[in-house]
Structure 1
Amino acid sequence: MLTATNYEDAVAESIEFEKELKSNSYQTVKPKVDEGNDYSVLGAIVKYNQYLNGESQYAHLRKDVTKGHIDEMIRFCRFFAKILKQRYDIERMRITDVSQHDVADFYLWAEDHYAPKSFNKCLAGLKGFFDFLIDVEEVEMKNPFRKYVRKYVPQSEIDTINKDEFDSILNAVDNYTPISVLGGKGERKNMYRPYLKDGFKLFLLSGGRREEVVDLRWNNIFESENKIKFFRIKNLKVTRIMKRETVYKYIPITDDLSDFLKELGYDEKRNTDEYILFPQRYEKSKTMMDVLSKSFTHYRIGAGVEKEITLSNLRKTYISWVNFEMGIDTPYVSSHSTNGVLEKFYLDPKILTAIETTALKVRVFGNKTP
């Protein structure tokens, strides 16, 4: 049965059908419905998506991965399918028929669309897709992405901010025009908010991620037996990855952070459920995160700071100063190591020691911050 609805298309389709018959020595074409592990290209991608989402029949092989990771891996697969579609009917094409020529086509496409780091990630993602088919679904084939030349990725510089640059950005919030003229239609947007300077300081002195800093509350503050104060908050990033609700991180309250919290009203507000940053809120937390990020860049430019730094560089600056004092114990403070966090407010001794030491020794910029 032809799918064409007019004569010209029917002629073209019949010619294509004749070519397909000849290429298969006039043997019956395999059905579109997947049988066993003999998948079409589209069927294989569907199976991989189910596997990544934990919907696979292989319960013992399920992995906890983020939605962002799943979306990215499936996006790479779809891009590959789009390249294949230029030469094949991917609803009929078997995944086992993917050749080195097809990989070469995709390789050239990816070179034009990705920077080296993303390029390597894309190709590695497709290698993982075929590894899944071979190792989990037991499709009998060689991995066509097993060998390829990776792109060289130069080591990136970790830009931190110094005290003079940070002070100039704070001054710009008071003195530089808050109006940003956006591209395209020339939309004008007011970048000023009354919580910007406090927000920037809180980011710098706590080293937290956006979603952590914006939602810090006074009752997140606890004391160790040695009277060292720290924030105890849910590690949202690890919680999303591990899908557990009991993963916490601990932010030591250093002397300069303690001084700043007192300026914000620690003595009166301690143990309350009030937000530390801008408690009289009229914006959602997500909106505040976006505003803080975009406004930091706006006022950084206004301050004449030529470094291409963003709000995230405040966290990098904090971790750099922690590393200056703590060395190999830095991961216990930055929460890049998630081992040893115990239930019911108890800390692993190594983490507790690192937090207490950080609280006593670390000062961002090596001295008091305004």
Structure 2
Amino acid sequence: MAKKKKLPNKKHKGLYIYCSVDGCKKNFSWTNKTIEKDGKNVQIEPLCKLTNRKFSNCKNFQFHKYKSRLHVPGTKSGTISKVLDAENYKEAVVKAVDFENEFKGNVESSDEFEFNITRYYLLQSQKQYIYYLENIDVAEHKKVERSQKYIDEILFCLKLFNESLRSKKIKPKFFLIEKVTDIHVGYFHKYLLDFKGYKNKTYNNKMTAVKGFFKWAIKEYKLNVTNPFDDVKKRSTIVNKDTITKNEFKELLEIISPESGFVQVGKSRKNRYKPYLKDGIELALHTGGRREEIVELKWNMIKVVDDEPSYIVVPNLKVLRQKGEGFNDNVAPKIIPITQSLKKLLLRLGYNENMGSHEYILSPDRSKTSTNAIMNNLSKGFSHYYKQLNTDRNLQFKNLRKTYLTHLASTLGGEAKSLSSHSSDEVLQRHYINKKIVSKAVKEMEIFE
């Protein structure tokens, strides 16, 4: 019977665990490690690509294989890999060493690798790019934190590009990167618009993602070519500035129930209702936070002035990630004023009982769920129930943030920037804890009151 495979903290170089399940195909360079979080040592695990569960909870562990990947001499990022026939780590190390010795012998006795040193094929280079995004074999100072969702989206865009080439009888596996020209970008352009039927915003996102791959490849492999995607023009998009009305919001909360949450997804019948859905929707409206900001809210983020909850200090997660660790120390947080309506909501959710604690405000028990799961449930739940209102509008969860910012701008005018963080660092540093602005928002701002 197959046993779950693990990797020690100081593993053999180039050794990974590979999941062979269709739709996953993920390489795990580690299975468990300790990090410091909020002054405490916390055990973390990588997440399964399919289920978003912890590695140790993966139900497909029998499909996990040890895999060895080696650097091809004479290249900067060229690699060769082999799935190892090993049931445990010790066996995998022995097999990996055998593979390394065999590979070295082949290199020394053959001119084949010299022939391929400067030939970079599209498909293999795309795999290397995904490894780069996952920080595999990336120098410590160059590592950037990226979500698995972001990496999966990039991979999907590269697959679309490959599909457009295959539709023209071009095989990405044997197609050199430097041979990609305007003609092939044109194939992709037509494929996205005519075959996939994507709208302008989606088209722009796909083009940008593939352009990013070529930018990396040209720099990584020192190719003497220009980026074939440089001349792609972004197509015009219409920004959805719709806000939810008072009546819509009231009716939406009234219809949210387990009985009306069922929806057919393919062959499966799912229930979009979640016990925390109403609370999440109300928090979104009264804080103006993005999904992750709402899901990550904790009681100790609430600051008290004159014995009253006055404002919430929220890390600006989007900007923090953009700047990266070591470069984001001066990123100003967001300041959310606690209006009378938000105060009532927080009291109902348990402010008095949880004041100052490290517990999450929304769905505090995270033992059987995750931030990503709650985020997805909020989006899907909102869309499902809003459609039942039959308003002939296509509002999404993010429209709650737009509603909040509209009311904030109406109340504070130009001062709203200092709270929403949509401004320069200089303005934020000057205003983000300006008690007069917070006080004004608390006293004057009302949303559906």
Query: TM-score scaled to structure 2, two decimals?
Result: 0.60
1:157 Cα deviation from its structure 2 partner: 2.4
Alpha-carbon distance between aligned partners in 2 of 1:358 and 1:133, rounded to the nearest angstrom: 48
Alignment partner, residue 156 of structure 1: 239
Q: Which has the larger radius of gyration?
A: 1
Alignment partner, residue 110 of structure 1: 192
Is the 1:321–1:362 Cα contact (8 Å) retained in structure 2?
A: no
Is the 1:326–1:358 Cα contact (8 Å) retained in structure 2?
A: no
- The one-letter amino acid of 2:249's match is F
Alignment partner, residue 446 of structure 2: 367
Higher strand share: 2
Does residue 130 in structure 1 map to residue 228 in structure 2?
A: no
Change (3 A) 1:294 1:283: farther
Q: Alpha-carbon deviations, 1:59-104, whole Å to 9, x = none? A: 88x4736244444444433433444455345444432233443333
- The one-letter amino acid of 2:179's match is D
Does residue 199 in structure 1 map to residue 276 in structure 2?
A: no
Of residues 249, 252, 257 in structure 1, which corresponds to 2:342?
Answer: 257
Alignment partner, residue 67 of structure 2: none
Q: What percentage of aligned pairs have identical amino acids?
A: 31
- The one-letter amino acid of 2:264's match is L
- The one-letter amino acid of 1:198's match is D
1:161 Cα deviation from its structure 2 partner: 1.0
- Listed as ranges, the matches of 1:204-283 within 5 Å are 204-223=285-304, 229-244=310-325, 248-277=333-362
Alignment partner, residue 41 of structure 1: 122
Does residue 312 in structure 1 map to residue 398 in structure 2?
A: yes
Is the 2:291–2:375 Cα contact (8 Å) retained in structure 1?
A: yes
Alpha-carbon distance between aligned partners in 2 of 1:186 and 1:59, rounded to the nearest angstrom: 43
Is the 1:218–1:271 Cα contact (8 Å) retained in structure 2?
A: yes
Q: Alpha-carbon deviations, 1:253-309, whole Å to 9, x = none? A: 123212332344434442234443455788635454444433333433444444321
Alpha-carbon distance between aligned partners in 2 of 1:56 and 1:106, rounded to the nearest angstrom: 30
Of residues 201, 212, 230 in structure 2, which corresponds to 1:146?
Answer: 230
Alpha-carbon distance between aligned partners in 2 of 1:276 and 1:303, rounded to the nearest angstrom: 28
Alpha-carbon distance between aligned partners in 2 of 1:167 and 1:363, rounded to the nearest angstrom: 23
Alignment partner, residue 255 of structure 2: 172
Is the 1:253–1:359 Cα contact (8 Å) retained in structure 2?
A: no
Higher helix share: 1
RMSD value over aligned CA atoms? 4.0
Q: What runs of 5+ residues in structure 2 fail to find an aligned partner?
A: 1-110
The alignment partner of 2:297 has SS state of: coil
Of residues 156, 165, 180 in structure 2, which corresponds to 1:98?
Answer: 180
Instruction: Please identify, of 86-95 and 136-145, the stretch whose mean Cα deviation from structure 2 is larger.
Output: 86-95
- Listed as ranges, the matches of 1:312-351 within 5 Å are 312-336=398-422, 339=425, 348-351=429-432
Alpha-carbon distance between aligned partners in 1 of 2:219 and 2:277, rounded to the nearest angstrom: 51
Change (3 A) 1:180 1:320: same
The alignment partner of 1:117 has SS state of: helix
Instruction: Please identify, of 203-212 and 274-283, the stretch whose mean Cα deviation from structure 2 is larger.
Output: 274-283
Q: Alpha-carbon deviations, 1:10-33, whole Å to 9, x = none? A: xxxxxxxxxxxxxxxxxxxx9677
The alignment partner of 2:161 has SS state of: helix
Q: What runs of 5+ residues in structure 1 fail to find an aligned partner?
A: 1-29, 342-346
1:351 Cα deviation from its structure 2 partner: 1.2
Change (3 A) 1:225 1:186: closer
- The one-letter amino acid of 2:186's match is A
1:160 Cα deviation from its structure 2 partner: 0.6
Alignment partner, residue 284 of structure 1: 369
Query: TM-score scaled to structure 1, two decimals?
Result: 0.71
The alignment partner of 1:187 has SS state of: strand
